[in-house]
Amino acid sequence: MKNKGLKKVDIIFDCASCEPLEVIKKALSMKPDEIIDQIISSGLKGRGGAGFPTGLKWKLAKEEDNDIKYVICNADEGEPGTFKDREILDVVPSKVLVGMAICAYAIGAKEGFIYLRNEYNFLLKDLLPLIEKFNQNIQNLGLDFTIKMFSGSGAYICGEESALFESMEGKRGEPRNKPPYPTKAGYNGKPTIINNVETLVYCSMIIRIGVEPFKKLGTTDSRGSKVFSVSGDTAKAGIYELELGIGVDEFVKEFGNGDTKAVQVGGASGHCVPRKDFKNKIIGFEGIPTGGSMMVFNSSRSMYNVLKDYLEFFEEESCGQCTPCRVGTQQLLKGIKAVKHGEKPSSYLNQLLKLAETMKITSKCGLGQSVHNSFSSIVKNFREEIIY
C-alpha cells in the first residue's frame, strides 16, 4: 500500500456543472444498462461509510421484476463529526436530485424520498420549493418520477438502511434481519435503492463528466474522491473534498496543529489512529474506511473522555432490540468507568475487549458491530490514559 499524498479535488461543489436538466437529458439519451455499466466501471463505492459498490446495487435492483420500486436518499447523517451531507444539501441540492432521477431511470422507479434528519429541518424551506420545481421539470422531460421529503424524528439508528425503512413505515426504527437486502425487499417490501447523499452526487457527476476523470482519482480499491468533515483540534475545521487513498500522516500535516496525538477516522463507529501509526495508515477502503468524519485530537485531550463520550453515545442510540448491543454498550461504559475509578483492576480491560469482540460478531446491525472499532483502537493504543 502506497499512499497518494494529499490532493484537493473540486467535483461535488463545482458550480460550473450545476445545470441539472442537461445532465438528466444526457442520462435519458443513454440506455439504463449503459448508465449502470458506467457506474460499475467507475468503481464508485457508497460514501455513507459501509462502501458497498453503487453500480452493483443498482444492477441488483434493476434485475428485480417488480412494478413498484423506490429510490431513497439517506440524509439521516448522524455520525458524530460528520456534516458533509448537510453542506451538500445546502449548497448543491439539485445535484442530489439529479442523482436520484438518474437512479430512478436506471432501475425503473417512479417514486423517491429524501429521508432528512429532523435536526436539518431548517433546510426544508429551500428544499421543498426546489423539489416541487424539479419534479415538474423532469415530468416535462418525460421521466415519470416524483421526489418527496420525509423527516426523521431524531434517532441515529435510522441511518441504518432497514431501520430507515421501518421508520418510514411508521414503526420504531429497529433494523431488520438481512437478507433480504433492500434491493430485493426494502421500503414497503419493494425493491429499493438507498444511497447516501454524497454517493448520489457522484453518480450524477460521473454521468456528466464521464468515468475517466473520476477513475483517475484514488486507488484501485478506493476510486475517486470523497468529502471529509474535519473538526477537533485544527485551525482548518470544515469541509474538504480530497482524493481517496491519502495517508493519515499527509492529512495530519495539512490539518493538524503540530501537536496531534490521534485522529479519529469515521466518527464514533470508526477507528482511532494514534501518532505512531500515522505513517502506515491509509484513508480508503483498503485501509480505514470512513463516512467522512475526521476528528483531530491534540496532546491536551484525554482519550478516556473521548472514549467515554463515544460509549455514552452508543448506549443512548442503541435501539435495544438485540442483547449484545443493548447490554454490551452499557457494560463497556460501566467497565471503563470502574477501571478509571479503581473499582476494577486494569486487567478488566482485557475482558472488555473480548466483550467488544463478541458484540462485533453477534450484534444484529452495524451499530453494535462497529462499537468494537473505536473501543479497541482507543483501549489498545491509549491503555494508560484509560487506567490512570
Binding site for other proteins (CB under 8 A): 77-83, 85-86, 117-122, 150-156, 167-174, 188, 229-233, 237-239, 293, 295, 301, 305-306, 309-310, 313, 316-317, 319
In the complex, the smallest distance separating the C-beta of residue 279 from other proteins, rounded to whole angstroms, is 25
In the complex, the smallest distance separating the C-beta of residue 122 from other proteins, rounded to whole angstroms, is 5
CB-nearer residue toward other proteins: 18 or 237: 237
In the complex, the smallest distance separating the C-beta of residue 118 from other proteins, rounded to whole angstroms, is 5
CB-nearer residue toward other proteins: 197 or 211: 197
In the complex, the smallest distance separating the C-beta of residue 56 from other proteins, rounded to whole angstroms, is 29
DSSP state of 181: P
Q: How far apart are CA 264 and CA 276, in angstroms?
A: 14
CB-nearer residue toward other proteins: 161 or 214: 161
Residues 300-338 as b/e (b if ≥16 CB within 10 A, e otherwise) read ebebbebbbebbebbbebbbebbebbbebbebbbebbee
CB-nearer residue toward other proteins: 2 or 125: 125
Please report where in the chains the cell 415530468 appears, as a residue: 139
Look up residue 196 and give its three cell numbers. Answer: 447516501
In the complex, the smallest distance separating the C-beta of residue 16 from other proteins, rounded to whole angstroms, is 25
In the complex, the smallest distance separating the C-beta of residue 273 from other proteins, rounded to whole angstroms, is 16
Look up residue 304 and give its three cell numbers. Answer: 478516556
Residue 87 vs residues 90, 147, 198, 339, 361: alpha-carbon distances, Å: 5, 20, 10, 40, 35
DSSP β-ladder status, 246-247 and 260-265:
unpaired
Shortest CA distance to 292 belongs to which of 201, 377, 172?
A: 201
In the complex, the smallest distance separating the C-beta of residue 313 from other proteins, rounded to whole angstroms, is 6
CB-nearer residue toward other proteins: 224 or 256: 256
Look up residue 296 and give its three cell numbers. Answer: 483531530
In the complex, the smallest distance separating the C-beta of residue 241 from other proteins, rounded to whole angstroms, is 15
In the complex, the smallest distance separating the C-beta of residue 286 from other proteins, rounded to whole angstroms, is 26
CB-nearer residue toward other proteins: 173 or 289: 173
- Cβ atoms 144, 31 nearer than 8 A: no
Residues 43-65 as b/e (b if ≥16 CB within 10 A, e otherwise) read bbbbbbbebebbbebbbbbbeee
CB-nearer residue toward other proteins: 214 or 304: 304
Give the DSSP H or E segment for 147: strand 146-151
Please report where in the chains the cell 421521466 appears, as a residue: 143
CB-nearer residue toward other proteins: 97 or 230: 230
In the complex, the smallest distance separating the C-beta of residue 187 from other proteins, rounded to whole angstroms, is 9
CB-nearer residue toward other proteins: 11 or 88: 88
Shortest CA distance to 233 belongs to which of 294, 191, 190?
A: 294
CB-nearer residue toward other proteins: 160 or 233: 233
Q: How far apart are CA 341 and CA 386, in angstroms?
A: 10
Side-chain-facing half-sphere of 37: CA atoms under 13 Å: 5
- Cβ atoms 69, 190 nearer than 8 A: yes
- Cβ atoms 353, 377 nearer than 8 A: no
